[in-house]
Amino acid sequence: MNSDTGLSLRGRMLLAALLPVTLVAVMLTAAFLTRLIADLETGLRTRGAAISRQMATAAEFGIFTGQRDSLSALAEAALRSDPDARGTAIVDAQGFVMARSGEIHPSDWPEFVRLDGFRLSRDVLLFAEPVMRSITPVDDIYGGSDVSQAPAPMVIGHVVVELSPHAIAKQRDRLIASGVLIALFGAALGGWLARRIARGVTDPVLKATEVVEKIAEGDLAARVDPESAGALHALAAGINDMAARIGMSQEDLRARVAEATVELLQEKETAERATAAKSRFLASASHDLRQPLHALGLFVSSLAQTEAATKEPRLVEHIQSSVNTLQDLLDAILDISRLDGGAVVPRINAFPLSQVLDRLGRDLSPLAEQKGLRLKVRPTRMWAMSDRQIVERILLNLIGNALRYTTSGGALISCRRRGEHAVIEVWDTGEGIPEQAREEIFEEYVQLGNPERDRAKGLGLGLAICRRLAELLGAPMGVRSRPGRGSVFWLELPLAREASRSEVEARLPHAGGAPDLTRISGTVLVVEDDPLVRAGMEQVIVGWGATVMAAATRDEALSLCRESRERPDLAICDIRLPGLVSGIGLAEELQREFGRMAVLLVSADVSEEAQIAARRSGFPLLKKPVPPGRLRAALRQMLEVRSRSTQSPSSADSADDKSPA
């Protein structure tokens, strides 16, 4: 027992100390590996896109002039520029391969469009970039005609680059193996420290536990050494004091326990004798009383067929009524005794409520018609999970009472759903039940409006039996009533799985609905020094339909804008950028050089200084993390405002140096 307790306690201490360390090590390792793997994949795609775009810029003249040698040299140089490149190719506008290098798969290529990392197969990533021919307009200065507008660039071919992800896959495997080793090392180190700490705490506790166990076994001389208890000195003193007190009162306690034990044994014997006598009485009553009652019923039936019955019909009727009443009374008393003695065990199964209700309606309809009443059963498709026979017995008593105490109108049996339960209700149009008597009627031999104890109005045991049966099923039961209007007795049963599934499936909403077609258009410059944030923002904005120019620094952003044929309509700048220039300063510089483009600031800095600086600049600020829906709404609104401002006449006259939105 001591060893089990020690192992259990040490195990719990070790678990309490080791689990947080292990979780932290695993989470940090997983986060680190996820980021590194994402960086590898992002770097491969970025390199592929860069190679294809550089080739597209350099291949324009060669495709236009048909210089296959220069194009072949360009393809060879591009293949050698990256160790992950499998093959490169340059095709003309008709899809004819003008130059190729390395291993390429022209038969598997999709339609020629701009592709950034299209997975051609498990081992190939495809990058395609259109080669645009720029047409410079020529002005006729001697003809006096206006300067012709430059026609739009046209696609004269495509460059194709195929990269292999094998290298980054190997790096990823090495990173995962290293991460697992680091996590295991951290867990081992944490386990060693946790074991040292746990041992210093558990040893005094285990020693105190051993002393307590000895005291429990009767060794009242056992004591805890206060010197070895350490920080648990107060606990050791308390245990020693407890042992001394127990020793002083042990004899008195034993005497009291012995006396109480004798009394309990006597009471137990008395209860067992009473239970046995009750069982013998019930067994005797069930047999000895039913036998003569059965015979008496037969005699009455025979008597009703003789000539004596024609002479004394009322006498025969009274005898038959007395036999029936005695039979009902005996059945009710025995039922209550069996329920109180725990002799009734419910058998829970699924069954359709319609079968029970319809059967009761058919069986009791003659009684209702005999009294000139209407008995109606509303159809239901629900299933219940309960004991069918007990439920039927409860409802039989409730419906019988409804017809017995109703003089005009009728009774209604209905079933409705309440959450995961079916509520069966028995309505009547009788006299109703006063509020103060609605709990009293469920007691034995309680009858309202029957002080003379007329047996024709029942025995006063039906509702008591119903309440006991409902408690046996664990089913709530109650009554609502309005004096002079009638009563409603209800029984709540759990729904069966069959009914639950059918109803849930019937109410399941059909999938569908219009997809989110919210789109944005224009060119967005993203200036973000974090490569993951930059890549994620670029991906989501491109997915919304816009063109993205991504930069990490001020110089890179300015260079992109100067080299691009299409200037950005909107710039998203992080407030904190590498170098001395902030995002606000870069935005102002972009507006001075390239026109009044829209600017949106984003920042993880929530300090008051950053917010004041943003307000002073006049640029809107979104705090990271920015929900994608909010970012899209902001971009869409700002691009629409810029589009309307650039399309107005006043803006067109005063913005000759700006690009269209």
Q: For the segment 336-345, what is each residue's pLDDT rounded down to a tens digit?
A: 666 666 667 7
DSSP code per residue over 147-175: PPPPPPPEEEEEEEEEE--HHHHHHHHHH
Tens-digit pLDDT profile for residues 351-374: 999 999 998 888 888 888 988 899
- C-alpha 223/C-alpha 208 separation (Å) is 9
- CA 168 from chain centre, in angstroms, equals 36
- C-alpha 410/C-alpha 252 separation (Å) is 71
Angle, CA 319 vertex, CA 289 and CA 465 arms, to 5°: 50
pLDDT at 81 over 70: yes
CATH class given for the domain over 349-506: alpha beta
Let me know how long the chain is: 661
pLDDT at 418 over 50: yes
- C-alpha 620/C-alpha 601 separation (Å) is 6
Tens-digit pLDDT profile for residues 589-641: 888 888 878 999 988 775 678 888 888 888 998 877 777 777 888 888 888 87
* Burial of 465 per CB tally in 10 Å (0-12, 13-18, 19+): buried
- Look at strands 349-352 and 154-163 and give their pairing: unpaired
Question: Quick one: pLDDT band at residue 501, thresholds 50, 70, 90?
Answer: very low
State mean pLDDT over 293-318. Answer: 68
Instruction: List Cα–Cα distances, 525 to 46, 537, 558, in angstroms.
Output: 17, 10, 10
pLDDT at 294 over 90: no
Task: Report which of residues 519 and 327 the model is more confident about.
Answer: 519
The yes or no reply on domain 1-135+153-222 and CATH 3.30.450.20 is: yes
Give the pLDDT score at 76: 85
Amino acid at 370: Q
Q: Minimal CA–CA distance to 330: which of 278, 276, 293?
A: 293
Amino acid at 630: R
Give the pLDDT score at 143: 52
**Which residues have C-beta within 8 Å of that of residue 460, sequence separation ≥ 6?**
444, 445, 446, 447, 450
pLDDT at 78 over 50: yes
- C-alpha 539/C-alpha 523 separation (Å) is 13
- C-alpha 328/C-alpha 179 separation (Å) is 80
User: What proportion of the chain, given as a percentage, has pLDDT over 90?
Assistant: 9
If you average pLDDT over each of 22-36, 173-187, 289-303, 557-571, which comes out highest? 557-571
Give the pLDDT score at 493: 93
- C-alpha 27/C-alpha 630 separation (Å) is 29
Give the pLDDT score at 611: 81
Half-sphere exposure of residue 465: CA atoms within 13 angstroms, side-chain side: 26
Question: Quick one: pLDDT band at residue 653, thresholds 50, 70, 90?
Answer: very low
The DSSP code for 508 is: P
Task: Report which of residues 232 and 102 the model is more confident about.
Answer: 102
Question: Quick one: pLDDT band at residue 413, thresholds 50, 70, 90?
Answer: very high
Q: How many other C-beta atoms can be found within 10 angstroms of the C-beta atom of residue 203?
A: 17
Give the pLDDT score at 655: 37
* Burial of 53 per CB tally in 10 Å (0-12, 13-18, 19+): middle
- 158 in Cβ contact with 128 (< 8 Å): yes
Instruction: List Cα–Cα distances, 171 to 40, 116, 185, 477, in angstroms.
Output: 8, 22, 21, 69
State mean pLDDT over 386-405. Answer: 88
Give the pLDDT score at 146: 52
- C-alpha 72/C-alpha 62 separation (Å) is 10
- C-alpha 174/C-alpha 40 separation (Å) is 12
3-state DSSP assignment of residue 319? helix
Q: Where are the beta strands (DSSP E) in 334-476?
A: 349-352, 374-377, 383-386, 410-418, 421-428
- C-alpha 552/C-alpha 537 separation (Å) is 12
Phi, psi dihedrals of residue 111, rounded to the nearest 5°: -60, 140
Show me where the domains of the chain are located. 1-135+153-222, 226-276, 289-340, 349-506, 523-653
Q: Which two tokens stand for residue 656?
A: 């000759």
3-state DSSP assignment of residue 110? coil
Question: Quick one: pLDDT band at residue 652, thresholds 50, 70, 90?
Answer: very low
Q: Which two tokens stand for residue 542?
A: 């491109």
Question: Quick one: pLDDT band at residue 426, thresholds 50, 70, 90?
Answer: very high
H helical segments located in 289-352:
290-303, 307-311, 313-340
Q: Minimal CA–CA distance to 404: which of 463, 451, 490, 349?
A: 463
* Burial of 340 per CB tally in 10 Å (0-12, 13-18, 19+): exposed
pLDDT at 309 over 50: yes
Q: Which two tokens stand for residue 470?
A: 């409902």
Phi, psi dihedrals of residue 413, rounded to the nearest 5°: -115, 120
Q: Which two tokens stand for residue 351?
A: 């069954």
Of 3.40.50.20, 3.30.70.20, 3.40.50.2300, 3.40.50.620, the CATH number of 523-653 is 3.40.50.2300
State mean pLDDT over 474-479. Answer: 88
- 430 in Cβ contact with 487 (< 8 Å): yes
Helices 628-647 & 531-543 angle (0-180, nearest 10): 60
Tens-digit pLDDT profile for residues 429-475: 888 888 776 677 777 656 565 544 445 555 567 788 888 888 888 88
User: What proportion of the chain, given as a percentage, has pLDDT over 70?
Assistant: 69
Q: Minimal CA–CA distance to 191: which of 18, 16, 27, 12?
A: 18
Rounded (10°) CA dihedral 46, 47, 53, 55 = -170
For residue 87, the surrounding DSSP H or E stretch is strand 85-92
Question: Quick one: pLDDT band at residue 285, thresholds 50, 70, 90?
Answer: low
Instruction: List Cα–Cα distances, 485 to 18, 162, 335, 425, in angstroms.
Output: 70, 87, 32, 16
Amino acid at 363: D
pTM of the model: 0.35
- 27 in Cβ contact with 183 (< 8 Å): no
Give the pLDDT score at 203: 65
Q: Minimal CA–CA distance to 385: which of 530, 525, 493, 307?
A: 493
Q: Minimal CA–CA distance to 59: which of 75, 45, 44?
A: 75
- C-alpha 112/C-alpha 104 separation (Å) is 15
User: What average pLDDT is seen over the chain?
Assistant: 76
Phi, psi dihedrals of residue 60, rounded to the nearest 5°: -60, -50
If you average pLDDT over each of 218-232, 283-297, 592-606, which comes out highest? 592-606
Whether the upstream peptide bond of residue 494 has omega within 30° of 0, thus cis, is no
